[in-house]
């Protein structure tokens, strides 16, 4: 009989890759999301009826319990980068993670994977980092055999990092970045999904695993790599942290006084705090090597989805070949 895994946030960026891998591995997959009508695309990851989107809100006990009914394993991919309305860091990444783990334990589910993030720290002044750490602690308290995956910044076709800055690079000759010297270790989204698949198959040790790609680059270097890929020139301008804090305070204030009508999707004070810290593997926890995974390099993947930001889009390489023929 096929095993069943419930993936909370299974239609999101990382979740969809885990859902696809688990379907290919022969599991039945229940994709638990707040808007199942917008997640029908996940059905295509498996045979008829193998992958099903269902309603669940990790802020609610009843809907989480219903999504876990009959499951053999679970994955929690739900997370937010900025707060808005009832979607706060504590409600989603701390209380939500605790709820999933507690109800997994109540249902007798011992196989649980929690997607966290490098930088999770219970003593951090960042609500994002602190809530991630609190979520990890709650998960291990209720399900001691759980596997915690802490990726660095995740890249892939649907990412909100390279796609966002590549879009900005089309607007002018200057590309502003906060924390240009902050280091990152970007990790390919399907490598994270592969790690989750191994964990669900019982091939990963319980506890925390830090996942980083093969390259460590500063924010400025990442932007320069992206600009080379999209064939554009721009000055990568470092924004001083004090300027960034002023900008973020104003943007957060506008969101507050408009009761969320003007959502701050540009830069928050919490993001500025996180950008002041390196986002790389610390070496205190196992990673890809212990899982037997060779992480994918950025430049092997970025051209496959950033080509649309090139001046000539899909025809850029054809034009370059034609120029070479003329010379």
Instruction: Say whether pLDDT at 324 is over 70.
Output: no
Tell me, what's the pLDDT at 272?
Answer: 95
In a domain, 21, yes or no: yes
Tell me, what's the pLDDT at 85?
Answer: 84
Residues 6+ apart with CB under 8 A from 111: 72, 73, 74, 145, 199, 200, 202
User: How far apart are alpha carbons 6 and 51 in whole angstroms?
Assistant: 10
Q: At 92, phi and psi to the nearest 5?
A: -95, -50
Higher pLDDT, 258 or 204: 204
- The domain of 123 spans 4-154+186-213+279-295
Tell me, what's the pLDDT at 96?
Answer: 97
The tens digit of pLDDT for each residue in 29-58 reads 999 999 999 999 999 999 999 999 999 999
User: How far apart are alpha carbons 12 and 79 in whole angstroms?
Assistant: 10
In a domain, 69, yes or no: yes
In a domain, 107, yes or no: yes
Instruction: Say whether pLDDT at 160 is over 70.
Output: yes
The pLDDT-based confidence of 303 (bands split at 50, 70, 90) is very high
Of 222, 245, 216, the C-alpha closest to 169 is 222
In a domain, 245, yes or no: no
3-state secondary structure 95-157: HHHHHHHHHHHHCCCCEEEEECCCCCCCCCCCHHHHHHHHHHHHHHHHCCCCEEEEECCEECC
The whole-model pTM stands at 0.93
CATH number of 120's domain: 3.40.50.720
The tens digit of pLDDT for each residue in 180-191 reads 999 999 999 999
Tell me, what's the pLDDT at 323?
Answer: 62
In a domain, 285, yes or no: yes
The tens digit of pLDDT for each residue in 52-90 reads 999 999 999 999 999 999 999 999 999 998 888 889 999
User: How far apart are alpha carbons 4 and 30 in whole angstroms?
Assistant: 7
The pLDDT-based confidence of 283 (bands split at 50, 70, 90) is confident
In a domain, 44, yes or no: yes
Class of residue 285 by CB neighbours under 10 A (exposed 0-12, middle 13-18, buried 19+): middle
The tens digit of pLDDT for each residue in 258-267 reads 888 888 888 9
In a domain, 244, yes or no: no
Per the structure, the count of domains in the chain is 1
Token reading at 272: 């500025």
In a domain, 168, yes or no: no
User: How many contiguous H segments (helices) and E segments (strands) does the chain have?
Assistant: 13, 13
Three-state DSSP class for 210?
strand
Class of residue 67 by CB neighbours under 10 A (exposed 0-12, middle 13-18, buried 19+): buried
């Amino acid at each position: 009989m096929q095993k069943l895994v419930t993936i909370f946030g299974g239609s999101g960026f990382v979740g969809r890759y885990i859902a696809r891998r688990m379907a290919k591995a022969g599991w039945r997959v229940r994709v638990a999301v707040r808007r199942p009508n917008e997640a029908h695309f996940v059905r295509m990851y498996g045979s008829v009826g193998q992958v099903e989107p269902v309603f669940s809100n990790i802020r609610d006990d009843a809907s989480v319990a219903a999504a876990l009914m009959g499951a053999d394993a679970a994955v929690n991919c739900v997370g937010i980068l900025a707060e808005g309305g009832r979607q706060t860091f504590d409600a989603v990444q701390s209380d939500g993670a605790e709820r999933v783990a507690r109800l997994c334990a109540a249902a007798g589910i011992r196989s649980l994977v929690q997607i966290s993030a490098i930088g999770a720290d219970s003593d951090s002044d960042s609500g994002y980092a602190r809530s991630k750490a609190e979520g990890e602690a709650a998960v291990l308290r209720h399900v001691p055999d759980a596997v915690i995956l802490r990726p660095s910044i995740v890249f892939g076709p649907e990412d909100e990092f390279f796609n966002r800055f590549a879009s900005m690079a089309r607007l002018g000759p200057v590309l502003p970045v906060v924390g240009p010297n902050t280091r990152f270790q970007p990790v390919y989204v399907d490598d994270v999904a592969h790690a989750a698949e191994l964990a669900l198959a019982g091939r990963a040790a319980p506890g925390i695993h830090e996942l980083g790609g093969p390259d460590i680059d500063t924010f400025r270097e990442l932007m320069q790599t992206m600009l080379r890929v999209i064939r554009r020139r721009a000055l990568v301008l470092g924004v001083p942290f004090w300027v960034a804090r002023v900008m973020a305070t104003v943007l957060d204030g506008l969101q507050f006084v408009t009761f969320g009508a003007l959502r701050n999707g540009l830069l928050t004070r919490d993001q500025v705090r996180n950008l002041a810290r390196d986002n790389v593997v610390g070496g205190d926890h196992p990673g890809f090597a212990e899982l037997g995974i060779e992480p994918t390099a950025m430049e092997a993947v970025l051209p496959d989805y950033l080509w649309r930001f090139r001046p000539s889009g899909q025809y850029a390489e054809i034009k370059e070949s034609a120029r070479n023929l003329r010379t």
